[in-house]
Amino acid sequence: MIAPNAGPRGTAWNEPSARLHERSILHSEIHPHPNAKLLDQFFSTLALGEATTAGLFYDESARVDIPAIGLRGLSAAEARLLWRVALNDARDLHVQYAVTSADDSGGEVVWIARYTWQPTGRIVTQRLRGRFRIKGARIVEEVEQFSLWGCAQMAFGTRGWFGGWNPFLRSRIRRLVRERLARGG
């Protein structure tokens, strides 16, 4: 059972040490496509906070794009590090996801990440759409899309509402992420 979002300020869930998740893997299919199974396993490991295991799903030649913050062409090593940093920062992470399509070339996942934004103690519910290209049972391309403005509103309140659309904020976040990746987390 999922704990309601009724914890004190700065706690996204009543069990802050638990990594809660829900899953959905093309419920309409009795025998899901192998790429649907792979994406389900990938998101299950992320939901459980297993960044190292999630990193094993990437091919060494993989490229990851996060257009909302202007990150393009992250290498597999950078993507692994980004997940490690993100999962370490979001200690009360809750993930819901659904594999919405899968075929021989890849698949698509819609997912929601709910966590406490540590600098402000505010709860963020981030809605994302991930598109994946898969070869040889490994992720070779990933594009994650979400609304930076929506996240900024939740993370920063009124300041985020006014500044979340601003290109300055996007470039600042991109610079901070790149700096953090450069120093290894």
Percent of the chain at pLDDT exceeding 70: 83
How far, in Å, CA of 153 to CA of 59, rounded? 35
Q: Name the token pair of 43.
A: 């998101």
pLDDT, tens digit (0-9, with 9 covering 90-100), for 52-65: 999 999 999 999 99
If one counts every other C-beta atom within 10 angstroms of the C-beta of residue 61, the result is: 11
Q: Across the strands, what pairs with 106?
A: 103, 133
Quickly tell me which residue has 């934004």 as its tokens. Answer: 117
User: ∠ CA(28), CA(55), CA(185), 5° rounding?
Assistant: 130
Q: Is the pTM of this model over 0.85?
A: no
Q: Across the strands, what pairs with 166?
A: none
In the structure, what pLDDT confidence band is assigned to residue 4 with cuts at 50, 70 and 90?
very low
Length of the chain: 185
Q: What is the mean pLDDT of residues 34-41?
A: 95
Domains defined for the chain, CATH in brackets:
20-182 (3.10.450.50)
User: For the chain, percent helix, then strand, then coil, each to nearest 5?
Assistant: 35, 35, 30
